[in-house]
Amino acid sequence: MATHGTDPDRDRWLPVRGRATDAQRLAGGLGWFSIGLGVAGLAAPRLLARLIGAPDRGKTPAVLRAVGVREIASGLGILSQPRPAGLVWARVAGDVMDLALLTSALGSRRARPGRIVAAAAAVAGVTALDALTARQLSRQDGATVAPSREHAVTVRKVITINAPREQLYRFWRDFTNLPRFMRRLESVETMGERRSRWRARGPGGMVVEWEAEVVDDKPNELIAWRSLPGSRLSHAGVVRFTPAPRGRGTEVAVEMAYTPPGGTLGARMAKLVGQAPEQELQEDLRRFKPLMEAGDIVVSEGVLYGVARPAR
């Protein structure tokens, strides 16, 4: 498998329709901050208690674990939506609760007042940032964030499959077949000749859904699609089927662009946990190859969980 140069006409299928605002990018950062803080609260509540100056015994570890669960849920919710104003406002409410907990900890004999005051000052600063972000998100209109050259993640992979391109085109054109070899894709539901609803599982088990439309369709040559305005995930893709050199089957070139939850930071975090989009697309195509050449039944995680069923 190789990665080829990009097509100069690619923007016909991967259009630039806008950029994420500062508030949306900041919300993504706050989402990842919530997840990191939540993991710390769940994994090491006693250590976290000592760092903020609170007692590391009694009810404190249990309280910090509960706060950790709240933070992780908040972070995943924020990352799953393009303009999560309501969820960021919920973070503000959580910040106020945290300030109240820190204040109550000052009454403990085992508390370290200096550390608690410093922790409270840090929480107050985050509260102000949360409130500012939530206010900016609330003011925005309903415009959808779409992939842009600056913020979108774009991947392209090519594979040669020993099968006629007519066969490959027919299989791919029925989008309900895609979960059979795309690991993260749980299901695709057709909603007419050109529209479909997609459901995928992202980092941390986060589920994202969006609706897409076919924007170009050349039988046996090309299929291009993109998410509809108002979808939670901005996504676009194009697959091309061309005869391989010396009659060795068909070259299948897939290019996708999307704005991941959390923006650029989200994409970097995904790579750190082994979920780099380039690698996942390459593995998806490696599963597609035997399915088309030998008819092997390959299923995605979504199929294994009973969310999607292989096409017959």
Lowest model confidence (mean pLDDT) among 147-151, 211-215, 257-261, 273-277: 147-151
Total tally of structural domains belonging to the chain = 2
Residues 165-181 pLDDT 10s? 999 999 999 999 999 99
pTM here is 0.50
Q: How confident is the model at residue 82 (pLDDT cuts 50, 70, 90)?
A: low
What pLDDT does 188 receive?
Answer: 94
Q: Are residues 15 and 48 in the same domain?
A: no
Asked, for residue 309, whether it belongs to a domain, the answer is no
Q: Are residues 192 and 114 in the same domain?
A: no
**Contact status, residue 137 vs residue 84, Cβ threshold 8 Å:** yes
Asked, for residue 5, whether it belongs to a domain, the answer is no
Average pLDDT over residues 121-146: 70
Asked, for residue 2, whether it belongs to a domain, the answer is no
CA dist., res. 167 & res. 94, Å (int): 54
Beta bridge partners of 226: 213, 236
Domain of 231, in residue numbers: 10-19+145-304
Sign of the CA dihedral running 150, 152, 157, 163: negative
Q: Which of 105, 121, 139 is the last residue of a domain?
A: 139
Q: Are residues 162 and 289 in the same domain?
A: yes
Beta bridge partners of 250: 161, 243
Q: Are residues 157 and 296 in the same domain?
A: yes
Residues 102-113 pLDDT 10s? 888 777 777 788
Q: Are residues 126 and 170 in the same domain?
A: no
**Contact status, residue 190 vs residue 176, Cβ threshold 8 Å:** yes
CA dist., res. 269 & res. 75, Å (int): 13
CA dist., res. 124 & res. 146, Å (int): 33
Q: Are residues 163 and 105 in the same domain?
A: no
